[in-house]
Amino acid sequence: MSQSCSSMAGGFTWPPPDNVEGHPFHAANNINEIAITSIVDYQVLPLDPRVQELQEIYLRKVVDTVADLPNVLYEVANESSGGGSVDQGFVDALGLSGPVDWGDSTAWQYWAMDFVRRYE
């Protein structure tokens, strides 16, 4: 959540349209039997309970680590899917054949903000 070093959204550069092979929640990258296949699996509600639990653990750790610092801003996700729609110009720039459904992450972003507020 703190962009100073990491992000709950992953902090990786993914090639189009939604390559999650480098994400810790991709099946090949963990032993927790969590296997996301898309940004929708970790940024659109409802979440898999195991993904939500790990996100909550991460959020608590971030708050515990930086809560006493006066110069910290929280950012839920940088360049998240927002309203879920993708501009045709962006689709064209990525070289995709048609629109991509990245889902609407707005509710997830508010969930993360509310979780941090309650935890603080």
Tens of pLDDT, residue by residue over 37-83, are 888 888 889 999 999 999 999 999 999 999 999 999 989 887 777 67
Decide if 53 contacts 91 (C-beta within 8 A): no
The answer to whether 42 and 102 have CB atoms below 8 angstroms apart is no
Q: Is the dihedral of CA 56, 79, 43, 22 positive or negative?
A: negative
What does the pLDDT look like over 84-105, one tens digit per residue? 667 778 778 877 777 777 778 8
pTM of the complete model: 0.72
* Residue type for position 55: Q
